[in-house]
Amino acid sequence: MKADWHVHTSYCDGKASPAEMAAAACRLGLDALGFSGHSHTFFDESWCMSKAGTEAYRREVSALKAEYAGQLEILCGVEQDLFSAESTGSWDYVIGSVHYLKLGDGYLPVDESPEILRAGADKYFGGDVYALAEAYFQTVARVPDIPGCTVIGHFDLVAKFNETARLFGEEQPRYIAAWQNAAEKLLASGLPFELNTGALARGYRSVPYPAPPMLRYLAERGARFLLSGDSHSPDALCHAFDRWRREGEALGCRFIDRPDG
């Protein structure tokens, strides 16, 4: 199946409407398209769907399902942040993700900018970026607690700005121990992991989430993977899927076709 299941639109931080994304999917010859708007986060509304926008999103995607019936299968999903208070009961599928660390009464975004991440390490962890990474992976290990979660989103998002080890060494033993501890807990859930190419499409990384050493580790322990583009614009749909399916399979990855079971 040729499909992209992690797709954002202008209802959250995407650049195009659902209709524009669906039309692009048809031009690309996709079999299916899964919309996964960012769930509303009450503590930070700068990039997520608003409460009213969530309902409008549901209505528009529902109309597109009918419009494209027989031509393009469309699912209406959500990317549910661990700290979102919204219900997940009525979506076609749920990508469970961590975009923040909850620190006291505040929330530190891990994927907004390298400056914010470094400042957060200074403020909350005494400058110890590995302690921040440890806290991140401890939080990611809780993703299966999200009700209805069907896919584990971008496992190592904390490394978004770490190309060329800009912030920390990914071969440092503390970092490896942190992600391996989280991986073991997530593997026990049986949920599939994304192989997410979104940061490649946007020029942040040269490898997907999870990075290849993580892919190999997870694959060796029986993990399943779902290719996803984390697409925020039409030109990012299915970005580098052919390459990373091949590379993933070379690392032992077993892919599934759908996020909804």
Burial 99-113 (b: 16+ CB within 10 A, else e): bbbeeeeebbbbbbe
Mean pLDDT for the chain overall: 97
pLDDT tier for residue 260 given thresholds of 50, 70 and 90: confident
Distance from C-alpha of 261 to C-alpha of 34, rounded to nearest angstrom: 13
* Mean pLDDT score, 120-124: 98
Distance from C-alpha of 86 to C-alpha of 100, rounded to nearest angstrom: 16
pLDDT tier for residue 132 given thresholds of 50, 70 and 90: very high
Residues 6+ apart with CB under 8 A from 232: 8, 13, 14, 15, 198, 202
pLDDT tier for residue 261 given thresholds of 50, 70 and 90: low
Q: Could you tell me what percent of the chain has a pLDDT over 70?
A: 100
pLDDT tier for residue 163 given thresholds of 50, 70 and 90: very high
Q: Could you tell me what percent of the chain has a pLDDT over 90?
A: 99
The DSSP code for 28 is T
pLDDT tens figures, 212-259? 999 999 999 999 999 999 999 999 999 999 999 999 999 999 999 999
Half-sphere exposure of 245 (CA within 13 A, CB side): 15
pLDDT tier for residue 127 given thresholds of 50, 70 and 90: very high
Distance from C-alpha of 56 to C-alpha of 35, rounded to nearest angstrom: 13
Instruction: Write down all domains in the chain, each with its CATH number in brackets.
Output: 3-255 (3.20.20.140)
Measuring CA to CA, which residue among 157, 213, 229, 155 is closest to residue 189? 155
For the full predicted model, state whether its pTM sits above 0.95. yes
- CB atoms under 10 Å from CB of 95, counted, come to 30
Give, rounded to a whole angstrom, the gap between the first and last alpha carbons of the chain: 14
Give the helix/strand (H/E) hosting 196.
strand 193-196
Burial degree of 129 (CB within 10 A; 0-12, 13-18, 19+):
buried
pLDDT tens figures, 33-88? 999 999 999 999 999 999 999 999 999 999 999 999 999 999 999 999 999 999 99
* Mean pLDDT score, 5-29: 98
Distance from C-alpha of 125 to C-alpha of 111, rounded to nearest angstrom: 17
Q: Is the pLDDT of residue 196 over 80?
A: yes
pLDDT tens figures, 18-30? 999 999 999 999 9
pLDDT of residue 52: 97
Task: Determine the 3-state secondary structure of 164 from DSSP.
Answer: helix
pLDDT of residue 174: 98
Task: Determine the 3-state secondary structure of 152 from DSSP.
Answer: strand
Task: Determine the 3-state secondary structure of 178 from DSSP.
Answer: helix
